[in-house]
Structure 1
Amino acid sequence: MSNRSYDPIAPRRVAFLGLGVMGHPMAGHLAQAGHQVTVYNRTTAKAEAWAQTYGGRFAATPAEAVGDAEFVFCCVGNDDDLRAVVLGPQGAFAGMAAGAVFVDHTTASAAVARELHAAAAAAGLGFVDAPVSGGQAGAVNGQLTVMCGGDAPAFDAMKPLALSFAKAVTLLGGPGSGQLAKMVNQICIAGVVQGLSEAVRFGQNAGLDMHQVLDVIGKGAAQSWQMDNRGKTMVDDKFDFGFAVDWMRKDLGLVLDEARRNGSRLPLTALVDQFYADVQALGGNRWDTSSLIKRL
């Protein structure tokens, strides 16, 4: 549980679908902020455990979880997982009341965001694509950055609730814009982590004390979030935490698909994606993304 304080907002009826490493603490922040939260997870034992920890309720299907919810938050694995919890007779859209808002925190394609936005509109529901950045630590500490796409009324309604687990929640355009912004985010990270990997290994090969070097250059123009949070763990060969390589490859697959559609040239991103494939071949599927240095 987090010890963060919450801005006062009238309690709302909320559902949260998907209690993985991100969803579990995000749903917890909503409960701690005073909202009535019902959760659903594919593995019911996880939902039951969450309800015991936070005092909320759990449901056996998405449709059941969202029955009286004014807002439904979701954080699952990919496009297919998202469709599975949203569509069909047991899906969220079948159970939601007219006027309710669905907020999707899954990192998914812009295409599925537009598809579900249209389906929601046809059913009289709001839909916001709202992928997050900040990793597991950001979710636990309630310090995520949320990039949103959709219609302003739905966004304005959900923002005060999302601020229970986020430090910034921003509408960037119409449906799919949140997902596209998350792709920009992942392109930036891929290049920075590869550069940091090469720098650390170069310094080690040169016989430098890289803890000391990172302290020095971290106060200058080379500074980055990755350097501050991952530089020294890379030096120490520690990768058993953070954002997994498998997830990053899924995200970069979305990026490269979208780049083919919009005509962007991403040579560095495509190369780093292949470097992550090398890390997977080393058995690093669940290592943190900073494990790019292992292949050097």
Structure 2
Amino acid sequence: MAKVAFIGLGVMGYPMAGHLVKHGHQVTVYNRTEAKAKAWTKEFCGEYQLTPREAAVGQDMVFICVGNDDDLRQVTLGDNGVLAGMSTGSILVDHTTASADVAREIAAIAKPLDIGFIDAPVSGGQAGAENGVLTVMAGGEQATFERAKPVIDSYARCVELLGEVGAGQLTKMVNQICIAGVVQGLAEGLHFARSAGLDGEKVVEVISKGAAQSWQMENRYQTMWKGEYDFGFAVDWMRKDLGIALEEARRNGSHLPLTALVDQFYSEVQSIGGKRWDTSSLLAKLEKNRG
């Protein structure tokens, strides 16, 4: 069992930190909104601190799950960042979906302090976090990963080391590229089914037993068919993730025409009020255009 800190109690971090307690780890949390930290400690009987640095003092490992590169730097660097409070030989695990550049930047700062670093973005959404069955894509040194993995297993069903620091973030980019294409395909399929006068639920019941099956189809088709999107992984966050992937593609020479197109479609969803809608709301754009 380990002494750990968890920084960031959003829809993902809140249940992830809870699973650490359930698996017997001693957990201290920090959240930008103190009320959320207080609520978490009341529910899970942990502790909270008022700064990331204070939360990191004396911990074996520190876990972070925040919004973007700038958020990550804010809670990691500076006088009140976790690196200012972490001990020699401890490990920093970042679950934020961020750029590979910021992962390498923080790893380079942590290394002279003898602090291990793993970039470890996750997939599985809020339900995966709540049920403790996330997929974790990691980048870093093998020895550091092997020390961190048993703790990460508290909320994951799959944890894999993909390469050196940054490899986790690059793999998450692949994940989001694939999801974007699948969701657009599902949206167009359901849009076509409605236009053709078909029963969408019966259609999906049949095709989901064949080669068209996907997680998105199994978990989102019913709400899409009903036009319900006020839940799940927000369009704003997906655009942030796709922007990171497209920027990386420009640098490494990848050609991502479908990803760029779907990113544009998501911008149209934002323009009709869907910034916080689930990513499956691509269908809403098609239905609106249909009139």
Identify the TM-score tier after normalising by the shorter chain. Answer: over 0.9
Counterpart position of 1:212: 202
CA RMSD of aligned residues (A): 0.5
CA distance in 1, matches of 2:35, 2:59: 22
1:125 aligns with 2:115: yes
User: Is the CA contact 1:214–1:232 (under 8 Å) kept in the aligned structure 2?
Assistant: no
CA distance in 1, matches of 2:175, 2:112: 31
1:104 aligns with 2:94: yes
Counterpart position of 1:293: 283
1:113 aligned partner, one-letter code? A
Counterpart position of 1:232: 222
Instruction: Report the alpha carbon displacement of residue 280 of structure 1 after superposing the two structures with TM.
Output: 0.2
1:196 aligned partner, one-letter code? L
Deviations 1:184-232 (A, max 9, x none): 0000000000010000000100000010000000000110111000112
1:180 aligns with 2:180: no
> Residue 249 of structure 1: which of 228, 234, 239 is its match?
239
User: Is the CA contact 1:14–1:70 (under 8 Å) kept in the aligned structure 2?
Assistant: yes
Gaps of 5+ in 2: 287-291
CA distance in 1, matches of 2:189, 2:158: 31
Counterpart position of 2:159: 169
CA distance in 1, matches of 2:232, 2:144: 31
User: Is the CA contact 1:69–1:100 (under 8 Å) kept in the aligned structure 2?
Assistant: yes
- After TM superposition, where is structure 1 displaced by more than 3 Å over at least 4 residues in a row? none
Alignment TM-score, normalising by the size of structure 1: 0.96
**Structure 1 segment 42-61 matched on structure 2, within 5 A:** 42-61=32-51
Counterpart position of 1:22: 12
1:151 aligns with 2:141: yes
Instruction: Report the alpha carbon displacement of residue 51 of structure 1 after superposing the two structures with TM.
Output: 0.6
1:199 aligns with 2:211: no
Deviations 1:19-56 (A, max 9, x none): 00000000000011111100001111111111111000
1:140 aligns with 2:100: no
1:169 aligned partner, one-letter code? V
Number of equivalent positions: 286
Counterpart position of 1:273: 263
CA distance in 1, matches of 2:223, 2:76: 39
- Secondary structure in 1 matching 2:209: coil
- Secondary structure in 2 matching 1:172: strand
Q: Comparing both structures, which one devotes a greater share of its residues to helix? A: 2
1:232 aligned partner, one-letter code? Q
Deviations 1:107-164 (A, max 9, x none): 0000000111111101110000000000000000001000000011111001001111
- Secondary structure in 1 matching 2:4: strand
- Secondary structure in 2 matching 1:164: helix
Deviations 1:259-284 (A, max 9, x none): 01100000000000000000000100
User: Is the CA contact 1:66–1:95 (under 8 Å) kept in the aligned structure 2?
Assistant: yes
1:262 aligns with 2:252: yes
2:234 aligned partner, one-letter code? A
User: Is the CA contact 1:145–1:169 (under 8 Å) kept in the aligned structure 2?
Assistant: yes
Deviations 1:86-124 (A, max 9, x none): 000111001000000000000000000011111110111
Counterpart position of 1:7: none
2:130 aligned partner, one-letter code? V
Counterpart position of 1:91: 81
